[in-house]
Amino acid sequence: MNGLSKQELRELLSLAVDGELDAERQKALDEYCSSHPEAMRELQELRRLKTLMRARGTIAPNPFFWTRLSRSLEKSAEESENLLPFPSKFLPAASAIAIVTFIGIGITVFLQRGPLLQFISETSTEVQHAYENSILKGSILPLFANIGNDEVLQYALFGTLPLDKGSDAALRVDEASAEGYKIEVGLKAEKLNRPAVTVKDLYAEVKPTKVQAVRIDSVLKSAREKIARAGFYAENNALAIDPEITQLNRRVLSRIVGVLGPAQRKRLDRFLRERRAAYTVDFDEPHPTELPPAVPRHASVSDRPRDYIVITPDSFAVATLAFDVDSLHGQWSVQIQSNMVQMHRKLEEFVRAQARRAPIIPERTEAPVRVVGEGDVMSIEIGRIFVDEERNLPRLVVAPRGRGETFFRFEMRTGTVSGDSDRLNIHPELDIEAQVRTQMDSMVKHLERMQDRQLRELRTRDSLRALREAAHRRAVIADSLR
């Protein structure tokens, strides 16, 4: 060891820092260092350096990285599609083949024009209907399209729901029996300080039978679909939230409890306790009767209008909306992905703007609704008429454990708010129903205008294209017959 060059010694020290020396070489190095303080100091400093390096900060995750990347990939794919799929030297031959083929097709079309015209006519009608049915799809975006069963369970336990997978924005429902319900939208999900919980964890704890697992999955799936219908964001910067989402977490847990046997419920309670969940299993309450064998997979709301809290940059309202949500689903994968960044930003801007609009928009006693802003915080309170446990919920067998911290919230109260008249009636002259009508009229008119414009464009484009194609076909056929 004493015959080592400086460079060899440094390489040995570097290997030692990485724990890559075998026992014999390590021992020799230790002995060398004990008699050479400079080498010992170097070794210590190299170790300190490695520790410092490992403690480096990391860059904040980018939840929208895929959105951005997929756009670039799509763009480059479109660009590549514009290129010829064969070497340019074959262009003359390819053109000749294309012309011959086109003439051939033209003659065939001419000879078979009767059946073809009938087919085109039928297809055009279908295409037109498809266009008309899908016009509204781009106008309203669901907020919670990308959640899975794990997120639903997380929501059931803690009332937290990410606006998008990986996003740092989350919604939280916080229930306190005395004061009603509070919905909070947090800009920083980490502030929620909740452990991640998965369905797998739950199953490991409660050990459900196969049938129970299927039922729990069904409950979670049903909840997922409800959540997907519970929040919408419109391109005109308006937001609609279904008040029932405030109770969905409790309902999901209650249904899970209903599926389980007594011993499993105890294990579930322990599971909830260990994870500091918002609820505890209430053993004093009778549990509900057995669930129906299957939860409906498609609980369409198109035929049953629902109450939503509708918030726009200028005001807010409670309104009954009859969105055919299913008609949006086919477009979600595109719309959500391509609009998530913009939606997230707009949503943040909009809530901040709302929060600045302190303090009050008035309400009527029989339909108590109000918005209160304070800094970056906005609260919405809604009366019992919109959240009616007796009407909507099965018997609940979980009870709230307590309240958590708040940071950014929509607030909703189920009790009467008439006692808080000082705050609620600052502008008693305004009529909430008028507000509702104005806001919804405005939103619907906007959508109708968009729909009309797009329809006109599509029809014009279709007609022009059809005319051009017909003229071209006629010319080709005429040429070929000459």
Q: CA-based angle 215:217:223, to the nearest 5? A: 105
Phi, psi of 290 (to 5 degrees): -55, 145
Minimum CB–partner distance for residue 302 and another protein (Å): 13
Cβ nearer to another protein, comparing 23 with 53? 53
Cβ nearer to another protein, comparing 13 with 424? 13
Tokens coding 132? 């008309």
d(CA 198, CA 196): 7
Cβ nearer to another protein, comparing 298 with 304? 298
Q: Is 165 in the site for another protein (CB under 8 A)?
A: yes
Cβ nearer to another protein, comparing 329 with 403? 329
Helix (H) or strand (E) holding 253: helix 245-259
Residues 6+ apart with CB under 8 A from 194: 154, 157, 158, 160, 275, 276
Tokens coding 198? 């998965």
Q: Is 48 in the site for another protein (CB under 8 A)?
A: yes
- Binding another protein (rule: CB under 8 A), the pick from 27, 30, 35, 69 is 69
- Binding another protein (rule: CB under 8 A), the pick from 195, 261, 305, 330 is 330
Q: Which of residues 334-353 bind another protein (CB under 8 A)?
A: 334, 336-338
Q: Is 329 in the site for another protein (CB under 8 A)?
A: yes
Residues 6+ apart with CB under 8 A from 264: 206, 207, 208, 212
Cβ nearer to another protein, comparing 70 with 418? 70
Q: Is 74 in the site for another protein (CB under 8 A)?
A: yes
Q: Select from 9-17, 90-98, 113-121, 459-467 the region that touches another protein (CB under 8 A).
A: 9-17
**Cβ atoms 394, 254 nearer than 8 A:** yes
Q: Is 234 in the site for another protein (CB under 8 A)?
A: no
Q: How many residues does the chain have?
A: 482
d(CA 229, CA 307): 12
Other beta carbons within 10 Å of 245: 24
Q: Which of residues 408-467 bind another protein (CB under 8 A)?
A: none
Q: Select from 14-22, 188-196, 232-240, 353-361 the region that touches another protein (CB under 8 A).
A: 14-22
Q: Is 299 in the site for another protein (CB under 8 A)?
A: no
Q: Is 319 in the site for another protein (CB under 8 A)?
A: no
Q: Is 154 in the site for another protein (CB under 8 A)?
A: no
Q: Is 228 in the site for another protein (CB under 8 A)?
A: yes
- Binding another protein (rule: CB under 8 A), the pick from 18, 24, 284, 429 is 18
Q: Select from 202-210, 333-341, 407-415, 420-428 the region that touches another protein (CB under 8 A).
A: 333-341
Q: Is 15 in the site for another protein (CB under 8 A)?
A: yes
Cβ nearer to another protein, comparing 82 with 289? 82
- Binding another protein (rule: CB under 8 A), the pick from 23, 53, 196, 481 is 53
d(CA 178, CA 235): 37
Edge-to-edge strands of the sheet including 180-186?
A: 160-162, 170-176, 180-186, 409-412
**Binding string, 175-214, against another protein, x = CB under 8 A?**
----------------------------------------
Q: What one-character DSSP code corresponds to residue 462? A: H
Cβ nearer to another protein, comparing 162 with 404? 162
- Binding another protein (rule: CB under 8 A), the pick from 21, 103, 148, 315 is 148
Other beta carbons within 10 Å of 257: 24
List, in sequence order, the alpha helices (H) in 18-166: 23-35, 37-54, 65-81, 91-111, 113-134, 149-158
Residues 6+ apart with CB under 8 A from 332: 142, 145
- Binding another protein (rule: CB under 8 A), the pick from 30, 35, 49, 402 is 49
- Binding another protein (rule: CB under 8 A), the pick from 27, 30, 31, 65 is 65
Facing residues of 369 across strands? 382
Q: Is 218 in the site for another protein (CB under 8 A)?
A: no
> Which CA distances in Å does 110 have to 113, 349, 467, 479?
5, 59, 16, 13
Q: Is 91 in the site for another protein (CB under 8 A)?
A: no
Edge-to-edge strands of the sheet including 231-234?
A: 140-142, 231-234, 238-241, 306-311, 316-321
Residues that bind another protein (CB under 8 A): 7, 10-11, 13-15, 17-18, 20, 42, 44-46, 48-50, 52-62, 65-66, 68-70, 72-74, 76-78, 80-81, 145-146, 148, 165-166, 221, 225, 228, 297-298, 326, 329-330, 332-334, 336-338
